[in-house]
Chain A
Amino acid sequence: MIAAIVILTALALIFGLMLGFAAVRYRVEDNPVIEQIDAILPQTQCGQCGYPGCSPYAKAIVSGEADINQCPPGGQAGVDALSKLLGIESKPLSNEYGVAQEEKLVAVINEELCIGCTLCIQACPVDAILGASKQMHTVILDECTGCELCLPPCPVECIDMVLLDRNIGNWKWPCPDDAADNIDNIGDDQASTASVSTSA
Chain B
Amino acid sequence: MSDTETAAQQQWAFHGGLALPGHKQISTTAGVQNLPLPEQLIIPRQQHIGKPAEPCVSAGEHVLKGQVIAHANDYVCTPIHASSSGNIVSIGKQHVAHPSGLKGTCIVIDTDGKDEWIKLEPTGYEDMNPSHLRNLIREAGIVGMGGAGFPTFIKLNPGIKENIDTLILNGAECEPYISCDDMLMRDRPDEIIAGMRIMRHALQAKHCIIGIEDNKPEACKSLYDALGDATDITITRIRSHYPSGSEKQTIKILTGKEIPTQGLPLDIGVVCHNVATAMAVYRAIELGEPLISRVVTVTGSAVARPGNVNALIGTPISNLLDFTGVDYGNLSRVIIGGPMMGFLLQNRRSPVTRVVNCLLTYSHDEIKPSQPPVLPCIRCGECARVCPVSLLPQQMYWYARARDFDKVQEYNLFDCIECGCCDHVCPSNIPLVQYYRFAKTSISEQEQDRRKADVARDRHDFRLQRLERDKRDRENKRKKKLDALKKSKGDGMDAKQKAIQDALARISKKKAAQNTQPGNISNLTTQQHQLIQEVEKRRARLDPFDPNKKSDHQNENNQ
Contact = CB atoms under 8 A, between A and B. Distances in A.
B460 interface: yes
Interface of B: 46, 52, 96, 98-100, 102, 104, 373-376, 400-401, 403, 431, 434-435, 437-438, 440-442, 444-445, 448-449, 452-457, 459-460, 462-464
A42 B452 CA distance: 9
Contacts of B442: 172
Interface residues of A, number: 36
B376 A188 contact: yes
B373 A195 contact: yes
B441 A172 contact: yes
Contacts of A55: 457
B374 A191 contact: yes
Contacts of A44: 456
Interface string A156-170: 000000000011111
Q: Which 10 A-B pairs have the closest CB atoms?
A: A172-B441, A43-B453, A173-B437, A43-B456, A126-B459, A171-B100, A185-B374, A175-B438, A173-B438, A43-B457
A166 B376 CA distance: 32
Given A42-B449, A170-B448, A176-B435, A145 B456 contact: yes
Contacts of A41: 453
Contacts, number: 91
29 contacts: A41-B453, A43-B452, A43-B460, A53-B464, A54-B460, A126-B456, A126-B459, A126-B460, A126-B463, A127-B462, A127-B463, A166-B100, A166-B102, A168-B98, A170-B445, A171-B100, A171-B102, A172-B444, A173-B437, A173-B441, A175-B401, A175-B403, A176-B434, A176-B435, A185-B373, A191-B373, A192-B376, A194-B373, A195-B373
Contacts of B457: 38, 43, 54-55
A143 B455 contact: yes
Contacts of A86: none
A130 interface: no
Given A168-B104, A195-B375, 4 more contacts: A43-B456, A172-B444, A175-B403, A191-B373
Nearest to A167: B102
A87 to B, nearest CB: 16
Given A42-B449, A143-B456, A177-B401, A191 B463 contact: no
A72 interface: no
- The SS class assigned to the A binding surface is loop
Contacts of A177: 401
A42 B400 CA distance: 22
A182 interface: yes
Interface string A13-50: 00000000000000000000000001001111100000
A100 interface: no
A168 B456 CA distance: 24
A43 B454 contact: yes
Contacts of B438: 172-176
A198 to B, nearest CB: 8
A166 B444 CA distance: 15
A53 B458 CA distance: 12
A186 interface: yes
Contact of B459 (A38, A54, A127, A176): A127
Contacts of B444: 172
A127 B102 CA distance: 31
